[in-house]
């Protein structure tokens, strides 16, 4: 899912993920927050690896 978010949102992907986490947290959806935090971790790894290859 992280790669899909990165493809769709490019440099704004991290912002999109953070907004999603905030939205789910405000709705009290702890499981969703957990899932999207994992997406954030994977997104960070992807973005770092892409930055290293440039």
Q: How confident is the model at residue 38 (pLDDT cuts 50, 70, 90)?
A: very high
Supply the range of the domain harboring residue 11: 2-52
Residue in the block written with tokens 């999207």: 36
DSSP annotation string for 19-48 = HHHHHHHHTT-HHHHHHHHHHHHHHHHHHH
Q: Would you tell me how many other CB atoms lie within 10 Å of the CB of residue 49?
A: 9
Q: Quote the number of domains for the chain.
A: 1
Q: What is the pTM of this model?
A: 0.89
Model pLDDT, residue 52:
65
């Amino acid at each position: 899912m992280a790669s899909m978010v990165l493809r769709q949102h490019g440099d704004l992907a991290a912002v999109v993920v953070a907004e999603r986490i905030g939205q789910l947290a405000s709705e009290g959806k702890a499981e969703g927050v957990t899932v999207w935090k994992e997406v954030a971790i994977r997104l960070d790894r992807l973005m770092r690896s892409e930055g290293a290859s440039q």
